[in-house]
Amino acid sequence: MKQIVEFAKEFYKDEILDYTTYSYLSDKTKDPDLKKMLRDIACIEKTHAQFWKDFLEKRGENVPEISYSKFRLFLLSLLSRVINPVFVVSFLELGEAGAIRKYYSFLKKGSVNKDEKEKIKKIIIDEIEHETIFAKETEKLGVSNIRDFVLGMNDGLVEILGVVTGLSAVYTNNPFIVAVSGLIVGIAGALSMGIGAFISVRSQRQVNEGIKEKLEIIFDIRPEKALEDFQDKLINTGIPKELAEEISYKLGKEKSSLKKLLVEDVTENEIKSGLFTGFAYLIGVLFPVLPYFITFSSLVALVLAVISAGVALSIVAIVISVLSGINMKKKILEMVLTAFLAAGLSYGFGTLMQSIFGINID
């Protein structure tokens, strides 16, 4: 009973803080559509908070007092002016995935009556809908492109950090050679990534165009064959045969809809994708390489490169967390530690090569 009450108090605090945050951002937002959306979500969060308040009072428990951080609200206001408020809200929604899991666990294990169970289910659905709403809004703003850029930059940063770290063990007193070598490898990597993205998108488009052409022929000569293929796809996903047959029958007359379901439509431009990916990779290269151009010791440059990479990776991890909804702290630790592990192994390998082959070019 005590654990259930403590969970309920935490849920109440979270919902009240969400209500306050969304209301505050709504007041600060000039876009009328976004203002209304935030206001509507704030009202829903207030309803959730009221449920947990009633939940506690029914059990004779005191409702916890809520303290608001003025600095937090000021920071939110500042960020909403610098970047689109949708991104700010997406950042705040990081905790929603964890909250949904907690609500679901509470629903399954908590001692609640039938009416309370139904209301908790409704809260879970509301929270999932909030995530969906903001996912759609951020998608409109080109978040998928930002995601590609972030991941491409991360690849360049981690790979070249490993390269310059390994070379630092060999050229300890010649950071310029390390810098130039890292830059050459980085440019080659950027070209490789860009060309790879170009070929990937172009190949997928060509494959899809070929499939669409075949479908046009099949629809013209034997339309039932296309329906059979679609029905098999449905059955393979676990849909019962009877239901798959019914869906296929109803879609039989909608050729355009059936084509979209059978073939993924690739709208991405291969040239744009290639340039975007290559540029993102090159940006990542700069973080570990630049320190070697401004110092007289590779070991000093290595320290600066590791710090620079650590800060950049932390920022990348935060962006990835915002876009994907995963735990921020875990993502930062995962990305930073794996990158540093790769750098440590690279340095050890460089030292080993130096010892084995007697390399000491200063």
What's the gap between Cα 251 and its chain centre?
34
If you average pLDDT over residues 200-204, what whole number do you get?
81
Closest-CA residue to 287 (of 157, 149, 166): 157
pLDDT at 289 over 90: yes
Alpha-carbon torsion 319, 325, 328, 332, what sign?
A: negative
User: Where does the pLDDT of residue 151 fall: very low under 50, low under 70, confident under 90, or very high at 90 and above?
Assistant: confident
Residue found by looking up tokens 């070379």 in the block: 167
Q: Tokens in use for 338?
A: 């794996």
Among 195-204, 267-276, 325-334, the range of highest mean pLDDT: 195-204
DSSP assignment, residue 127?
Answer: H
Q: Output the pLDDT for position 140.
A: 64
Terminal-residue alpha carbon distance, the chain: 70
Compare 131 and 33 and report the one with higher pLDDT. Answer: 33
Backbone angles phi, psi at 81, to 5 degrees: -85, -35
**pLDDT confidence tier of residue 47, bands split at 50, 70 and 90:** very high
Instruction: Give buried/exposed letters for 129-166 (b at 16+ CB in 10 A, else e).
Output: ebeebbeebbeeeebeebbbbbbbbbbbbbbbbbbbbb
Highest mean pLDDT (candidates 65-69, 143-147, 161-165, 288-292) = 288-292
- Say which CATH topology domain 2-141 has: Ferritin (1.20.1260)
Written as six digits, the tokens of 12 are 């109440």
> What is the distance between the alpha carbons of residues 67 and 140, in angstroms, rounded to a whole number?
35
Taking the C-alpha atoms of 339, 341, 344 and 346 in order, what is their torsion angle to the nearest 10 degrees? -70
Burial of 6 (0-12, 13-18, 19+ CB in 10 A): exposed
DSSP string across 49-108:
HHHHHHHHHHTTPPPPP----HHHHHHHHHHHHHS-HHHHHHHHTHHHHHHHHHHHHHHH
d(CA 134, CA 125): 15
Max CA separation in the chain (angstroms): 78
Whether 308 contacts 287, CB under 8 Å: yes
- The arithmetic mean of pLDDT across residues 176-192, rounded, is 92
In the predicted model, what is the mean pLDDT of the chain?
A: 78
Residue spans of beta strands (DSSP E) within 271-360: none
Convert the pLDDT of each residue in 70-82 to its tens digit: 766 776 777 667 6
SS (HEC) of 204-250: HHHHHHHHHHHHHHHHHHCHHHHHHHHHHHHHHCCCCHHHHHHHHHH
Task: Please tell me which residue, 130 or 358, carries the higher pLDDT value.
Answer: 130
State how far the Cα of 161 lies from the Cα of 77, in Å rounded to an integer: 36
Give me the residue spans of the domains in the chain. Answer: 2-141, 144-200+270-357, 205-262
Q: What's the distance, CA 233 to chain centroid? A: 29
- Would you say 172 and 356 are in contact if contact means Cβ atoms under 8 Å apart? no
Please compute the mean of the pLDDT values over residues 57-65 and round it to a whole number.
87
Please indicate whether residue 348 or residue 48 has the higher confidence score (pLDDT): 48
C-alpha 127/C-alpha 130 separation (Å) is 5
Whether the CB-CB separation of 343 and 161 falls below 8 Å is answered with yes
What is the pLDDT at residue 264? 55
